[in-house]
Amino acid sequence: ETRPRRRIGITCYPTYGGSGVVATELGIELAARGHEVHFITSAPPFRLNGREKNIHFHEVAVYHYPLFEHPPYDLALATRMAEVAEFYSLDLLHVHYAIPHSVSALLAKQMLATRGIHLPFITTLHGTDITLVGLDPSYLPITKFGIEQSDGVTSISAYLAERTHEAFRIIRPIEVIRNFVDCDIYKRDEEKVARMRPKYANENERLLVHLSNFRPVKRVADVVEVFARVAQAMPARLMLIGDGPDRSVAEYLARKHGIQNRIHFLGKQDNVYELLPLADLMLMPSEMESFGLAALEAMACRVPAIATQVGGVPELIEHNVNGLLFPIGDIESMAKAAIDLLSNPTRLGHMAQAARQTAQNHFCAQNIITRYEDFYEQVIAGT
């Protein structure tokens, strides 16, 4: 292996959402390959214990002065990025989620340039930074600017790259590097499943799962509606993993349908790789997913998903092969499909196997991390 070892700064939202998960996992994988990784974030990324080899954490502290109605996080971040980059001689900054991270990185780069230090930065687009937040007219110009000024831009699906080109009228190339999963951690271990599953479902019951941050875009109400129909047709239980604004809606609907004792509200969980393999089927009826990392994590654990045909999801799920896709809000079709599939163990088994195969063949960390490493070299060489 002739690849140079690099010093890389990573910034993300550390505690919430898929972009933070991807950024953290990427940092862990890069460190395992010998690179020196510096997380520059507002809090420690949740999967880190702070003692991993080759990983450093630099907290961005925001100064609260009574005059500031809104503490200037973006500026505090830019300052910390510049300090860390200089102190540790970083080769590159890699920011996840455009707002405000690209603009802070640009400021850091400009601050360092006045002192003769060169610091290129890459922005990875994850989804809502483009589809929701970035399209709010007040955010659009600054998001577009941050993307255009980046030394390299990647997106986690082809859909998102296309969407960014269209909606932001951006002509610069965007490298599509899809999300990944550690197939050695996210897998089904029969012995572990046999031990843990009885805690969540009896042997005669089917177990469904949903994993998200319970924001309206996830349509958690549809999850409960679909499950209510499944639970009427067969003995079944549902694990709801995560927390967020729509959790009370889910609880309300569960009570309304009289199925609250069939649903495990598990809240936020760190080790989802232990819970996902226990399920037979995932429900991901989102209004939008630029990729759908939760479905990939489930698929790697041999759990196929019933999902919506939106955004980048079809780049991961092929209808009737490794999962099932439906229009947004089509609760009846999703429920019918879930009941049919759960009643047909052979078909479910084939789909589970195909789901694992997809994760292994196309989305395993090993291959995708190499794509990032190649892109880093390209950007470092080109700037």
| DSSP β-bridge partners for residue 181 | 364
Structure token pair of residue 298: 């489930």
Cα separation, 303 vs 280, in Å, equals 6
Single out the residue of 9, 120, 127, 277 in contact with ligand GMT (rule: CB under 6 A): 127
Binding span for ligand GMT by CB under 6 A among 3-11, 126-134, 170-178, 350-358: 126-134
**Does residue 143 touch ligand GMT according to CB under 6 A?**
no
**Does residue 128 touch ligand GMT according to CB under 6 A?**
yes
Residues between 214 and 243 with contacts to ligand GMT, criterion CB under 6 A: 215, 217
| Sheet with strand 281-284: strands edge to edge | 263-267, 236-241, 206-211, 281-284, 305-308, 323-326
Cα separation, 217 vs 67, in Å, equals 35
Smallest gap, in angstroms, from Cβ of residue 108 to ligand GMT? 22
**Does residue 126 touch ligand GMT according to CB under 6 A?**
yes
Cα separation, 290 vs 314, in Å, equals 10
Query: Which amino acid is located at 141 in the chain?
Result: P
Smallest gap, in angstroms, from Cβ of residue 94 to ligand GMT? 14
Per-residue binding letters, 73-102, with ligand GMT (x by CB under 6 A) = ------------------------x-----
**Does residue 17 touch ligand GMT according to CB under 6 A?**
yes
Single out the residue of 214, 227, 273, 291 in contact with ligand GMT (rule: CB under 6 A): 291
Cα separation, 23 vs 154, in Å, equals 13
**Does residue 9 touch ligand GMT according to CB under 6 A?**
no
Smallest gap, in angstroms, from Cβ of residue 43 to ligand GMT? 15
- Residue 210 or 262: the one with the smaller Cβ distance to ligand GMT is 210
- Residue 8 or 128: the one with the smaller Cβ distance to ligand GMT is 128
**Does residue 335 touch ligand GMT according to CB under 6 A?**
no
- Residue 187 or 215: the one with the smaller Cβ distance to ligand GMT is 215
Single out the residue of 143, 150, 155, 290 in contact with ligand GMT (rule: CB under 6 A): 290
- Residue 210 or 215: the one with the smaller Cβ distance to ligand GMT is 215
**Does residue 179 touch ligand GMT according to CB under 6 A?**
yes
Cα separation, 83 vs 30, in Å, equals 22
**Does residue 147 touch ligand GMT according to CB under 6 A?**
no
Binding span for ligand GMT by CB under 6 A among 57-65, 220-228, 283-291, 352-360: 283-291
Residue 278: name the closest of 186, 210, 203, 207 by CA: 207
- For the chain, state the CA radius of gyration: 21
| DSSP β-bridge partners for residue 8 | 37, 92
Smallest gap, in angstroms, from Cβ of residue 268 to ligand GMT? 13
Binding span for ligand GMT by CB under 6 A among 17-25, 82-90, 255-263, 333-341: 17-25
The single-letter DSSP state of residue 199 is G
Q: In this structure, how many other beta carbons lie within 10 angstroms of the beta carbon of residue 309?
A: 14
Cα separation, 363 vs 179, in Å, equals 7
Smallest gap, in angstroms, from Cβ of residue 353 to ligand GMT? 23
The site for ligand GMT, by CB under 6 A, has a size of 21
C-alpha to C-alpha distances, 111 to 105, 222, 283, 347, nearest whole angstrom? 10, 48, 47, 59
What's the burial of 194, exposed, middle or buried (CB within 10 Å: 0-12/13-18/19+)?
exposed
CB-based contact 351:341 (threshold 8 Å): yes
- Residue 220 or 239: the one with the smaller Cβ distance to ligand GMT is 220
Q: At what angle do helices 247-256 and 220-233 cross, to 10 degrees?
A: 30
**Does residue 156 touch ligand GMT according to CB under 6 A?**
yes
Structure token pair of residue 114: 């006045």
**Interface positions with ligand GMT (CB under 6 A):** 17-19, 22, 97, 126-128, 131, 156, 179, 213, 215, 217, 288-293, 311
